[in-house]
Amino acid sequence: MNRSLFIAALAVALCGCASNVTEVAELERMRDAPPVVGQLPLELTPELRAAGAVEIAAYNGPWLFRHDKLRRLHEGDLMQVDVVGVPGLERSYLEYINEELMWTPEGVQPVKCRRRTQEIVAREFPSRARIPQTPGLRIRVLGPYSTDCFVVGGEVKKHGFYLWRDDMTLRQALLNAGGVRREMPAGKIYLVRGDRQVTFLLHNVLNGTTQPFLIKPLDAISVMETVDMKFDARKLGIPPPQPREK
pLDDT tens digits along 63-78: 889 887 889 999 999 9
> Considering the domain boundaries, does residue 128 fall inside one?
yes
pLDDT score of 213 more than 70: yes
> Considering the domain boundaries, does residue 238 fall inside one?
no
Are 173 and 55 found together in one domain?
yes
Are 11 and 123 found together in one domain?
no
CA angle, corner 23, sides to 22 and 26, nearest 5? 90
Among 124, 142, 160, residue at a domain's last position:
142
Q: Whose CA is closest to 32, among 148, 195, 161, 154?
A: 195
Q: Do β-strands 78-84 and 160-163 pair in parallel, antiparallel, or remain unpaired?
A: unpaired
Q: What does pTM read for this prediction?
A: 0.79
> Considering the domain boundaries, does residue 246 fall inside one?
no
Are 196 and 164 found together in one domain?
yes
Digit-coded pLDDT (tens) for 147-160: 999 999 999 999 99
pLDDT at position 31 is 52
> Considering the domain boundaries, does residue 208 fall inside one?
yes
CA-to-CA distance for 176 and 209, rounded, in angstroms?
19
Strand order in the sheet with 138-142: 91-96, 78-84, 138-142
Mean pLDDT of the chain: 82
> Considering the domain boundaries, does residue 17 fall inside one?
yes
Are 84 and 52 found together in one domain?
no
Are 43 and 138 found together in one domain?
no
> Considering the domain boundaries, does residue 245 fall inside one?
no
Is residue 194 within 8 Å of residue 34, measured between CB atoms? yes
Are 156 and 134 found together in one domain?
no
Three-state SS for the chain is: CCHHHHHHHHHHHHHCCHHHEECCCCCCCCCCCCCCCCCCCCCCCHHHHHCCEEEEEEECCCCCCCCCCCCCCCCCCEEEEEEECCCCCCEEEEEEECCCCEECCCCCCCEECCCCCHHHHHHHHHHHCCCCCCCCCEEEEECCCCCCEEEEEECECCCEEEECCCCCEHHHHHHHCCCECCCCCCEEEEEEECCEEEEEEHHHHHHCCCCCCECCCCCEEEEEECCCCCCCHHHHCCCCCCCCCC
pLDDT score of 229 more than 80: no
Partners of 97 in the beta sheet? 103
Are 138 and 86 found together in one domain?
yes
Are 150 and 61 found together in one domain?
yes
Query: Residues 48-70, buried b or exposed e (16+ Cβ, 10 A)?
Result: beebbbeebbbbbbbbbbbbeee
Are 30 and 136 found together in one domain?
no
Are 203 and 151 found together in one domain?
yes
Q: What number of other Cβ atoms are within 10 A of residue 242's Cβ?
A: 6
pLDDT score of 162 more than 70: yes
Question: Residue 38 — pLDDT band, cuts 50, 70, 90?
Answer: low
Higher pLDDT, 141 or 237: 141
Digit-coded pLDDT (tens) for 105-132: 999 999 999 999 999 999 999 999 999 8
Among 142, 170, 194, residue at a domain's last position:
142
Enclosing domain of residue 128: 78-142
Among 99, 116, 142, residue at a domain's last position:
142
Digit-coded pLDDT (tens) for 48-101: 999 999 999 998 888 889 887 889 999 999 999 999 999 989 999 999 999 999
> Considering the domain boundaries, does residue 205 fall inside one?
yes
> Considering the domain boundaries, does residue 71 fall inside one?
no
Are 24 and 42 found together in one domain?
yes
Are 135 and 175 found together in one domain?
no
Over residues 10-27, the mean pLDDT reads 39
**Total of domains in the chain:** 2
pLDDT score of 18 more than 70: no
